[in-house]
């Protein structure tokens, strides 16, 4: 299939349509259950716009052969790259009781960040929804 230049591609605004949940445990990350997701905490209101960064990468192993003028490469080590999330931190403020993101994601904490795009954050979680 070839995409022709000038073809209009429809888009959906991400603003207001991203849900971010901190989930303490998921047995199978390829198929989290509704029960596991509902045991999580919605931290969407704490994530700063543009504050999510996940940049996985894979190195290339050099394969230079003396009988060719071409350099070859093979897939190498994988890296999660830059993984960061910028959240509102209400520590030492009058809103210190509203600080779930910082409280849950302290150093050494174990859990999963689950994201759902394309649906309003107040839409309930349901099976069949695409999650990352």
98 within some domain: yes
* pTM of the full structure: 0.71
23 within some domain: yes
100 within some domain: yes
CA angle 123, 126, 131 (to 5 degrees): 90
Q: Fill in the DSSP letter of residue 124.
A: P
3-class secondary-structure state, position 51: strand
- CB contact set of 52 (below 8 Å; sequence gap of 6+): 20, 84, 85, 86, 115
125 within some domain: no
74 within some domain: no
91 within some domain: yes
pLDDT tens, the chain, 132 aa long: 566 777 777 776 667 788 999 999 999 999 999 999 999 999 998 988 878 787 788 899 998 888 989 999 889 998 877 778 888 899 999 998 999 899 998 889 999 999 999 898 889 999 889 998
Domain housing 22: 18-52+84-117
76 within some domain: no
* Number of separate domains in the chain: 1
31 within some domain: yes
């Amino acid at each position: 299939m070839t995409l022709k230049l000038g073809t209009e591609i429809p888009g959906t605004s991400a603003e207001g349509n991203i849900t971010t949940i901190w989930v303490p445990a998921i047995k199978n990350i390829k198929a989290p259950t509704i029960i596991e997701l509902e045991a999580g905490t919605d931290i969407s209101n704490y994530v700063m716009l543009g504050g999510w960064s996940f940049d996985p990468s894979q190195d290339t192993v050099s394969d230079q052969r003396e009988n060719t003028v071409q350099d070859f490469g093979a897939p190498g080590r994988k890296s999660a790259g830059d993984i960061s999330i910028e959240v509102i931190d209400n520590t030492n403020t009058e809103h210190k009781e509203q600080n779930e993101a910082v409280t849950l994601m302290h150093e050494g904490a174990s859990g999963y960040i689950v994201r759902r795009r394309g649906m309003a954050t107040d839409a309930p979680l349901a099976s069949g929804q695409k999650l990352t």
